[in-house]
Amino acid sequence: MEENNKKKQKIYFAQTVILLTGVIGGLLCGHIENQSPERLLGNTIMILLLLAVSGLQFRYDAINHKLNYNNSEHVIRYLVFVEAGMLFAYVCCLLPTEGWPFLFLFVAISLFSNETTGIVTASSLLLIPVLVGGAGINAFALYFICGVFAVILFRNVEESNLGVLVLLSGLVMLVCLTSNVILTLDTVFRPELFIIPIVNIVINVLLIMIVLKYFFANIIYLYRKHYLELNNPENSVMTELKTKDKNTYMRSIHTAYFCDRIGKCLQLDTDALKCAAYYHCMGEELAKKMVDKMMPPLPDRILSEYREFKKQGIRSREAAVLLYSDSVVSTYLLMSKNEGNNAVDIKTLIEAVDKKIRESSILDNCEITTKELSVMKKIFREEKLYYDFLRG
């Protein structure tokens, strides 16, 4: 609760600064463009509304942990890029349309939030030079199309060929600039007309590469070494657990398997979810040893939420997946032990576990949807062969 309050305070402060910057920038650019007082007031109000909409979208996703990677724990990165993007937007009011660097902003803001927030925020910033500079709907359509295309390309950036993503983004931007700007100019076609668009693309590509380098260093690879050690079922802590209590060890292994399968289907952070599953039921003595293993923030938060679910309920989707996976595994192990050679009815077991969890009100404030719960139950039912392995 205290952590959430601190995060809210950071967001409120930063968004107040962003709104003030938006107003001041709009007034300055309006005076430079010699706009009438009425037009100036109208643009300022529209800019405030645009920034407020994107701010609401971001605040909701940040507080409810719907941002990608560990962005919910580091909201300042997004806010810094928005502030920088706003400065870019006001500079663009003074630049020719074909020289706006918005492709970079769409990609950067999406990487440090999520796809929806990135598109909403970057589109809001894009509308600033369109409104203040009077560029028109064609300019908005141009950068909106290539920006959304780039955001879609970079959705799974850690699993993709970066060179191909950057090249495709640049090519789409060149096509959009050619069709929407160069071909519509009322002048004789000359090769020199491509100078500004090509310089713009080069600048965007360089900025994207710089952002990607920072992104991989501070997000993708930041905890990779920790996860390689923590998610190894043969590490020192897991080996000690296996020696002291093999049943608990196997329960953790099987829970981690289901968490991994479900996490991939629901597009959750599978490394963090598996990590939480491996260590969710170990005793205090072994848990103390995890301090030396440097548990990353997300699995640590999942574990804290899981251990307190009887008092506070479950809020995050990750903790809900862990709760269901552990409940199914532990119930199946208990029933198979009691039933002996008789087969356990998996479908009945899953429905019973689901009913018990729902009736307990644990999920009353949870972010997980009914559709996602259905997907989870379907995965449990489909793993018929794995239950034979689990039983053995």
Q: How far apart are CA 61 and CA 72, in angstroms?
A: 8
Q: How far apart are CA 18 and CA 32, in angstroms?
A: 21
Q: Are residues 117 and 240 in the same domain?
A: no
| pLDDT digits 0-9 by tens, 32-71 | 878 888 888 888 899 899 999 999 999 888 888 788 887 8
Q: How far apart are CA 5 and CA 20, in angstroms?
A: 23
What is the signed CA dihedral for 353, 356, 360, 364, rounded to 10 degrees?
60
Q: Are residues 258 and 312 in the same domain?
A: yes
**For the chain, counts of helices (H) and of strands (E):** 19, 0
- Residue the block writes with tokens 């440097």: 294
Q: 283 pLDDT band (50/70/90 cuts)?
A: low
Q: Are residues 207 and 191 in the same domain?
A: yes
Q: What's residue 213's pLDDT?
A: 92
Residue 291 has pLDDT above 60, yes or no: no
pTM of the full predicted structure?
A: 0.73
Angle value at C-alpha 331, between 369 and 257, nearest 5 degrees: 65
CA distances in angstroms from 143 to 107, 108, 179, listed in the order given = 12, 14, 12
Residue ending a domain, among 220, 238, 273, is: 220
Lowest mean pLDDT among 180-184, 221-225, 298-302, 314-318: 180-184
Q: Are residues 142 and 238 in the same domain?
A: no
| pLDDT digits 0-9 by tens, 88-135 | 998 888 888 888 989 999 999 999 999 999 999 999 999 999 988 877
| pLDDT digits 0-9 by tens, 161-203 | 889 999 999 999 988 888 876 556 556 567 777 788 889 999 9
Q: What's residue 288's pLDDT?
A: 64
Write out the residue range of the structural domain in which residue 276 sits. 224-391
Q: What's residue 263's pLDDT?
A: 93
Q: Are residues 150 and 167 in the same domain?
A: yes
Lowest mean pLDDT among 108-112, 224-228, 282-286, 352-356: 282-286
Residue ending a domain, among 220, 250, 266, is: 220
Q: What's residue 292's pLDDT?
A: 57
Q: Are 186 and 174 spatial neighbours (Cβ–Cβ below 8 Å)?
A: no
Q: Are residues 202 and 228 in the same domain?
A: no
Q: Are residues 256 and 148 in the same domain?
A: no
Q: What's residue 188's pLDDT?
A: 59
Residue ending a domain, among 192, 220, 248, is: 220
Residue 28 main-chain phi, psi, to 5 deg = -65, -50
Q: Are residues 78 and 156 in the same domain?
A: yes
Q: Are residues 269 and 367 in the same domain?
A: yes
How many domains is the chain partitioned into structurally? 2
Mean predicted lDDT score pLDDT of the chain: 86
Q: How far apart are CA 1 and CA 157, in angstroms?
A: 32
Q: How far apart are CA 40 and CA 47, in angstroms?
A: 11
What amino acid is encoded at 25 in this protein? G
Residue 285 has pLDDT above 60, yes or no: yes
Residue 134 main-chain phi, psi, to 5 deg = 70, 35
Q: Are residues 207 and 347 in the same domain?
A: no
Q: Are 286 and 241 spatial neighbours (Cβ–Cβ below 8 Å)?
A: yes
Q: Are residues 261 and 277 in the same domain?
A: yes
Q: Are residues 19 and 134 in the same domain?
A: yes
How many Cα atoms within 13 Å fall on the side-chain side of residue 293?
25
Q: How far apart are CA 102 and CA 142, in angstroms?
A: 10
Residue 147 main-chain phi, psi, to 5 deg = -70, -45
Q: What's residue 221's pLDDT?
A: 83
Q: What's residue 342's pLDDT?
A: 65
